[in-house]
């Protein structure tokens, strides 16, 4: 973790990542999701209540929460929650689906890029 991230990413969040099969798919042979990995605690900072619209023409997504982190394994369709949880099911835990991820350069130290992880409603 960069020294800048060390003082700015002080909140704990929980992320559930989609399971990926040996063939790289997140679905089984019947088209059903493989589920989620065990919850992981990551360090981040967050902001809620944004109402910006993002997406392609004809698609509207309203941002619910934005999480800033150096965690580089999040993907669209994963779930994230403010705080720590050991709940196996992200929906039961009250987590929100990740809708978009934006990558930012580590301007000061070039150790680890930063990411804005956006959830939607």
- Give pLDDT, residue 53: 57
pTM of the full predicted structure? 0.84
The boundaries of the domain holding residue 48 are 3-120
State the total domains in the chain: 1
Integer Cα distance of 117 and 50 in angstroms: 13
Integer Cα distance of 89 and 39 in angstroms: 9
pLDDT means over runs of 10, the chain (121 residues): 75 95 84 90 87 59 87 96 97 95 87 91 69
| Domain containing residue 64: CATH number | 2.40.10
């Amino acid at each position: 973790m960069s020294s800048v991230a060390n003082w700015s990413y002080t909140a704990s969040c929980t992320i559930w990542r989609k399971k990926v099969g040996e063939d790289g798919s997140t679905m089984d042979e019947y088209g059903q999701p493989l589920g989620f990995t065990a919850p992981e605690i990551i360090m981040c900072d967050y902001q809620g209540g944004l109402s910006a619209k993002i997406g392609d023409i004809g698609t509207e997504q309203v941002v619910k929460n934005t999480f800033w982190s150096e965690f580089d394994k999040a993907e669209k369709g994963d779930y994230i929650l403010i705080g720590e949880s050991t709940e196996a099911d992200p929906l039961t835990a009250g987590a929100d689906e990740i809708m978009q991820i934006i990558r930012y350069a580590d301007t000061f130290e070039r150790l680890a890029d930063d990411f804005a992880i956006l959830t939607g409603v």
